[in-house]
A and B are shown apart, each in its own frame.
Chain A
Amino acid sequence: MNRFWAVFKKELKDSSRDRRSILASLAFSFFGPVLMAIAFGVIAQKQTETEELKLAVIGIEHAPDLIQFIERHGIEPFAFDEDAKAAIKQRKIEVVLEIEPDFLDDFSKSVPAQVKLLADYSIEKSARAARRVKAVISRYNEEIGSLRLMVRGINPAITRPVKLESNDFSTPQGRSALILGGLQIFILMAAFVGSTGVAIDTTAGERERHSLEPLLVHPVSSVSILAGKWLTTSLYGMLAVVLTMLVTTAVFPFVPLKSLGVDLNLGLSMQLSIVALAIPLALFAAAVQMLTSLYAKSFKEAQSYLSIMIMIPMLPVMAMQLLSLKSATWMYLVPVLGQQQLLTDVMRGDGLEPLKYLLASGMTSLLALATVVFLTRLLRTERVVYGG
Chain B
Amino acid sequence: MASLRLHQFVARHVGPLALSVAAAECVCLAGASGSGKTLLLRAIADLDPHSGEAYCDEAACSATPAPAWRRSVALVPAESQWWSQLVGDHFEHGVADDWLARLDLPAAAMTWQVARCSTGERQRLVLLRTLMQAPAVLLLDEPTGSLDQENTLRVESLLADYRLQRQAALLWVSHDVGQIERVAQRRFTLDNGQLRANGWR
| A in complex with B | no
